[in-house]
Amino acid sequence: MELKRDLGLVHVFCIASGAMISSGLFILPGLAYSKAGPVIILCYFLAALLSIPGMLSLAEMTTAMPKAGGDCFTIVRSMGPSVGTVAGILSWFSLSMKSAFALVGMSVFTVLIVDIDIHIIAVFFCLVFLFVNLVGIKEAGRTQVILVAGLLLLMVLYIVLGLPRVRIERFSPFMPKGITSVFFTTGFVFVSYAGLLIIASVAEEIKNPAKNIPLGMILSLLVVSVFYSLMVFVTVGVLEPDSLGRSLRPISDGARVFMGPAGKIALSIAAILAFLSTANAGIMTAARSLIPLSQDGLLPAFFGRVNVKFRTPHNALIITGVFIILSLFLRLEILVEAASVVLILTNLLSCASVIILRESRIHNYQPRFRAPLYPWMQIFGIVGFGFLIFEMGTEALLISCLLIIFALFVYWFYGRIRTNREYALLHLIERVTAKELTTYSLESELREIIRERDDIIKDRFDNIIEQCVILDIEESIALEEFFRLASDTMSARLKTEPAVLFNLLAEREKETSTVLNPGMAIPHIIVDGDKTFDILLVRARRGIRFSAQYQDVHTVFVLAGTRDERNFHLRALSAIAQIVQQTGFEKKWLTAKNKQSLRDIILLGTRKREQSPGFLVPD
């Protein structure tokens, strides 16, 4: 059962933004200020800057493979099932912890309105959002849009009214606890940008993922980082240092200074909206981190089952909800630190995965969005994330190590026995060592993902290409020798003697040259019979000597069909013309790893697919 594609750009923006504008803004500034002082403004900026390499890397991989579980699915395909299992469980843990943190934070504010134990409030809302997500992703997405719209409105009000009341002396000394506190606090608040990771987890349910995923991620980071900077600046500038360092409600306390009791209530409502949106987004996406592990046999199939009526992963959602409820009783700072370290690790793996996927030279890795400044962006991310991890607290590092050990335990005793998946790292090792380590299973899987992503409906041309013979000629050969080889190859399929085919090809070439450009030719002939059409794909690595003028023809399409196939003959020529005109076609053709790679270049080429009766795949 497939998941529904119901989320548009607005939903993507609101899911990511709602997940980011919550505990990182309404609770963390007070905790962070106690650790570093006014320099937390810089810490939030550095955390946003460091999130860019991971975000762009994740956006690239997700547009290439828009599947549920996002980072987990792509890391399995890039670094293998063992690392993928670790990434999936880390992602699930991080998103679940962020949801738990949001629910606890929401309860801190809710007790201002209703005098009920915060744990009871948190459990109640966890169950509410669990129900909303069980009913459907579209309903969860609509809820997110409403919550974020109300939240942004109240935040704008806070900034506009608060900026005139900022006192510059509150920022001196700017870095009272030294440079080390800046690095620790940057890692501490990094969890504030976890919403970017969330988008990858619902990739399979996003409409037009090639456009909406990177654009939604970039827009949400820009908007949220600006709001973070301005709101933290206002808060530091209006609150007494001692008061801010002890506050679990810093934004609401800041609003009280320049907006009075009504302002405190308004921003407390904004905080509640923020926590609700984060909890909703976290439950929505954490559960989907388990789906690719289940589908790949790395976790039991139970985790990946989709509800027939609502088409949502109900088992994964229920397990995630139970885990979040249990996490509500942990100490607040441990929740934050553990979620941050795990999130940093996930971003680091995303950067490494992009390097592996690109350097493996897998032809069917075709992202619609490519991260700029490759590979320096990814190297900067890996070094920066690695540095932050070692600046975090011992408790958080210990929790992360235990999680990694648990994930490897699960893989070794469950997934390793049940799956034998090919991955890009093997292709990279194969490329470096020149040893045969791979089959074509990863390329085949990526081909089907591209077809699903681009809504490619197979037509008759695709059907013929899937079945046609491919010649991969290593040596330079003369035209006559090539025509004899082509005639021998196509004879049985066309039910025509090789000598007849050779004569037809030679006569056609004497009439006018079939060379279209210095590197490509399309010989095409008519044979006797009816309802017969075939194509021969040819790569000549050192060239075919078609004439004195054209000595190095590397790409050849030989078309042969009966007279009643003339219309399809013209359509096939049109399809080939559209494919070979694409930027970089010749380079792809010459560097393709094998015959199946050559076939996929044609099958996945961008062209207009005609749905006329003669062009569709016959039943």
| DSSP codes joined into one string, 38-75 | GGHHHHHHHHHHHHHHHHHHHHHHHHHS--TTTHHHHH
Report how far apart, in Å, the C-alpha atoms of 216 and of each of 213, 221, 448 are: 5, 9, 25
Q: 477: helix, coil or strand? A: strand
Percent of the chain scoring above 70 in pLDDT: 91
Q: What is the pLDDT of residue 611?
A: 58
Mean pLDDT confidence for 268-272:
79
Report how far residue 615's alpha carbon sits from residue 345's, in angstroms, rounded to the nearest whole number. 49
List the one residue out of 161, 343, 117 whose CA is nearest residue 251: 161
Mean pLDDT confidence for 196-218:
80
Residues of CATH 1.20.1740.10 domain(s) within the chain?
Answer: 9-418
Sign of CA dihedral 611, 613, 617, 619: positive
Report how far apart, in Å, the C-alpha atoms of 599 and of each of 251, 454, 609 are: 59, 18, 17
Report how far apart, in Å, the C-alpha atoms of 177 and of each of 37, 122, 172, 185 are: 7, 35, 12, 11
* HSE-up (13 A, CA, CB side) for residue 435: 4
Report how far residue 283's alpha carbon sits from residue 369's, in angstroms, rounded to the nearest whole number. 27
Q: What is the pLDDT of residue 542?
A: 92
Q: What is the pLDDT of residue 4?
A: 57
Q: Which two tokens stand for residue 316?
A: 């994964």
Q: Which two tokens stand for residue 306?
A: 């989709």
Mean pLDDT confidence for 542-566:
92
Is 615's pLDDT higher than 60?
A: no
Report how far residue 230's alpha carbon sits from residue 456's, in angstroms, rounded to the nearest whole number. 45
> Which residue's structure tokens are 């920022």?
171
Is 138's pLDDT higher than 60?
A: no
Is 356's pLDDT higher than 60?
A: yes
Q: What is the pLDDT of residue 5?
A: 63
* HSE-up (13 A, CA, CB side) for residue 609: 19
Q: What is the pLDDT of residue 8?
A: 81
User: Which has more confidence, 105 or 42?
Assistant: 42
Give the highest mean pLDDT range of 58-72, 126-140, 208-222: 208-222
Where does residue 409 rank: exposed (0-12), middle (13-18), buried (19+ CB within 10 A)?
Answer: exposed
Mean pLDDT confidence for 96-104:
79
Report how far residue 480's alpha carbon sits from residue 490's, in angstroms, rounded to the nearest whole number. 15
Q: Which two tokens stand for residue 490?
A: 């196509």
> Which residue's structure tokens are 């681009």?
454
Is 617's pLDDT higher than 50?
A: no
- 355 pLDDT band, cuts 50/70/90, is very high
Is 1's pLDDT higher than 60?
A: no
Provide the mean pLDDT of the chain. Answer: 85
Q: Please, what is the end-to-end C-alpha distance for the chain in angstroms?
A: 24
Q: What is the pLDDT of residue 68?
A: 66
Q: What is the pLDDT of residue 483?
A: 95
CATH assignment, 456-603: 3.40.930.10
Is 205's pLDDT higher than 80?
A: no
Mean pLDDT confidence for 460-486:
94
Q: What is the pLDDT of residue 618?
A: 43
Non-local CB neighbours of 207 within 8 Å, separated by 6+ positions: 5, 6, 7, 8
DSSP states of 409-458:
HHIIIIIHHH-----HHHHHHHHHH------SHHHHHHHHHHHHHTTPPP
Which amino acid, 385? F
Mean pLDDT confidence for 147-168:
87
List the one residue out of 197, 263, 397, 278 whose CA is nearest residue 25: 278
Q: 487: helix, coil or strand? A: helix
Tell me if 509 sits within 8 A of 520, measured CB to CB: no
Query: Is beta strand 533-545 parallel, antiparallel or unpaired with respect to 469-473?
Result: parallel
Query: Is beta strand 533-545 parallel, antiparallel or unpaired with respect to 520-521?
Result: unpaired
Report how far residue 456's alpha carbon sits from residue 447's, in angstroms, rounded to the nearest whole number. 11
Sign of CA dihedral 298, 299, 300, 303: negative
Please give the CATH topology (third level) of the domain spanning 9-418. Answer: Amino acid/polyamine transporter I (1.20.1740)
Is 560's pLDDT higher than 50?
A: yes
- 393 pLDDT band, cuts 50/70/90, is low
**Which stretch of 24-38, 332-346, 405-419, 598-612 has the lowest confidence by average pLDDT?**
332-346
Report how far residue 434's alpha carbon sits from residue 145's, in angstroms, rounded to the nearest whole number. 51
Tell me if 556 sits within 8 A of 544, measured CB to CB: yes
Q: Which two tokens stand for residue 34?
A: 């106690």
Report how far residue 42's alpha carbon sits from residue 321's, in angstroms, rounded to the nearest whole number. 35
Tell me if 282 sits within 8 A of 98, measured CB to CB: yes
Non-local CB neighbours of 604 within 8 Å, separated by 6+ positions: 364, 366, 447, 450, 451, 456
Q: What is the pLDDT of residue 116?
A: 74
Report how far residue 149's alpha carbon sits from residue 14's, in angstroms, rounded to the nearest whole number. 8
Residues of CATH 3.40.930.10 domain(s) within the chain?
Answer: 456-603
Report how far residue 617's alpha carbon sits from residue 8's, in angstroms, rounded to the nearest whole number. 32
Is 619's pLDDT higher than 50?
A: no
Q: What is the pLDDT of residue 221?
A: 92
**Which stretch of 97-111, 140-154, 236-250 has the lowest confidence by average pLDDT?**
140-154
Where does residue 588 rank: exposed (0-12), middle (13-18), buried (19+ CB within 10 A)?
Answer: middle
Tell me if 309 sits within 8 A of 268, measured CB to CB: no
Tell me if 42 sits within 8 A of 177, measured CB to CB: no
Tell me if 212 sits within 8 A of 9, measured CB to CB: yes
Q: What is the pLDDT of residue 616?
A: 46
Q: Which two tokens stand for residue 193?
A: 């940008």
Q: Which two tokens stand for residue 467?
A: 């079945």
**DSSP assigned state of 164:** G
Specify the DSSP element, H or E, that contains 5.
none
Q: What is the pLDDT of residue 548?
A: 83
Q: What is the pLDDT of residue 394?
A: 75
User: Which has more confidence, 228 or 116?
Assistant: 228
Radius of gyration of the chain (CA): 29
